[in-house]
């Protein structure tokens, strides 16, 4: 369905605000313990064991990394043998990622573009499209995101996505008690949420005061991928979130779970092949 001009204006304004915020966050994150780029420079692998197992051997494969931020995961894939192209809409993030890859001498290059406009800025085909940890909420149009992924894959190529489960987005992140307090189903407009500091450094000063996030249900995601010309191989659900919420309990440095044995799908991974 074509979008109305007013809708386009508000989406563009939300994306502009998000980009300004990400420019600020990228600079903060490059200095943060959370991303610890010194450890990356010294050889630390930022990828999680489950995703490496699920993506498989990447030796000599071309990997397109969507929403790569400061390139910590991108250079990790390059160290595993992939030829990486990272994409992000934050010029600050892309500059940090480019300098990181150059300083390490790994096979990774970076393109600054809104992910939904990428076909206007990049040509070629890749073996793998990969995106992880903090992707879907920033995307206004999931169908278009999946079509962009399909556009850049060779036939038979792999889409791999791992992110916060849509169910986890519905959890109220302001209370100590576990309760559902945010929407699960998609809304037309993005939610405007107040920003203080960053998830990687809550005490950092940021001038931005808002971020704009879109809600997508599990069904929206599965449908978007299936309709973009993919065969979905699996959709795995995990019982942990990779960051803290007041109502969750830490069980490992990157795993936070509900209290009292309550089970909820909080994270997911999806692998699909382009038909």
Ligand X SMILES: C[S@@+](CC[C@H](N)C(=O)[O-])C[C@H]1O[C@@H](n2cnc3c(N)ncnc32)[C@H](O)[C@@H]1O
Chain residues in the site for ligand X (CB under 6 A): 15, 18, 22, 67, 69, 72-73, 88-90, 93, 114-115, 132-134, 138
Q: How far is the CB of 263 from ligand X (least distance, A)?
A: 25
Q: How far is the CB of 177 from ligand X (least distance, A)?
A: 27
Q: How far is the CB of 161 from ligand X (least distance, A)?
A: 11
Alpha-carbon distance of 30 to 36, in angstroms, equals 7
Alpha-carbon distance of 72 to 208, in angstroms, equals 24
β-strands 62-66, 83-88 pairing: parallel
Q: How far is the CB of 231 from ligand X (least distance, A)?
A: 25
- Residue 37 C-alpha from the chain's centroid: 18
Instruction: Give whichever of 81 and 134 is closer to ligand X, judged by the CB atom.
Output: 134
Q: How far is the CB of 189 from ligand X (least distance, A)?
A: 16
Instruction: Give whichever of 178 and 206 is closer to ligand X, judged by the CB atom.
Output: 206
Q: How far is the CB of 126 from ligand X (least distance, A)?
A: 16
Instruction: Give whichever of 192 and 231 is closer to ligand X, judged by the CB atom.
Output: 192
Q: How far is the CB of 107 from ligand X (least distance, A)?
A: 19
Cα angle 64, 266, 191; round to 5: 80
Cα 3 to Cα 8, 11, 96, 117, 137: the distances in Å are 6, 10, 35, 16, 19
Instruction: Give whichever of 89 and 152 is closer to ligand X, judged by the CB atom.
Output: 89
Instruction: Give whichever of 196 and 231 is closer to ligand X, judged by the CB atom.
Output: 196
Instruction: Give whichever of 33 and 263 is closer to ligand X, judged by the CB atom.
Output: 33
Alpha-carbon distance of 84 to 116, in angstroms, equals 19
Instruction: Give whichever of 58 and 73 is closer to ligand X, judged by the CB atom.
Output: 73
Q: Name the residue whose CB lies closest to ligand X.
A: 134
CA dihedral of 112, 116, 119, 122, whole degrees rounded to 10 = 20
């Amino acid at each position: 369905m074509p979008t109305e001009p007013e809708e386009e204006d508000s989406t563009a304004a939300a994306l502009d605000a998000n980009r300004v915020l990400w420019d600020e966050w990228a600079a903060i994150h490059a200095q943060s313990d959370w991303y610890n780029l010194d450890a990356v420079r010294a050889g630390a692998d930022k990828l999680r064991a489950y995703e490496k197992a699920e993506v498989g051997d990447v030796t000599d494969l071309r990997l397109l990394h969507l929403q790569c931020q400061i390139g910590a995961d991108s250079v990790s894939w390059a160290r595993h043998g992939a030829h990486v192209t990272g994409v992000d809409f934050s010029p600050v993030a892309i500059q940090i990622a480019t300098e990181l890859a150059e300083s390490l001498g790994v096979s990774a290059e970076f393109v600054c573009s809104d992910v939904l406009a990428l076909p206007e800025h990049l040509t070629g085909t890749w073996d793998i499209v990969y995106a992880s940890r903090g992707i879907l909420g920033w995307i206004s149009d999931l169908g278009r995101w999946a079509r962009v992924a399909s556009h850049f894959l060779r036939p038979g190529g792999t889409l791999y996505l791992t992110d916060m489960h849509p169910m986890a987005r519905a959890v109220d992140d302001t209370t100590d008690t576990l309760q559902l307090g945010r929407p699960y189903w998609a809304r037309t407009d993005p939610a405007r949420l107040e920003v203080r500091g960053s998830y990687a450094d809550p005490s950092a000063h940021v001038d931005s005061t808002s971020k704009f996030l879109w809600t997508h249900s599990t069904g929206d995601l599965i449908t978007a991928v299936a309709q973009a010309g993919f065969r979905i191989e699996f959709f795995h659900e995990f019982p942990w979130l990779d960051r803290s919420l007041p109502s969750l309990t830490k069980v490992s440095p990157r795993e936070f779970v509900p209290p009292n044995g309550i089970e909820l799908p909080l994270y997911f991974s999806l692998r699909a092949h382009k038909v």
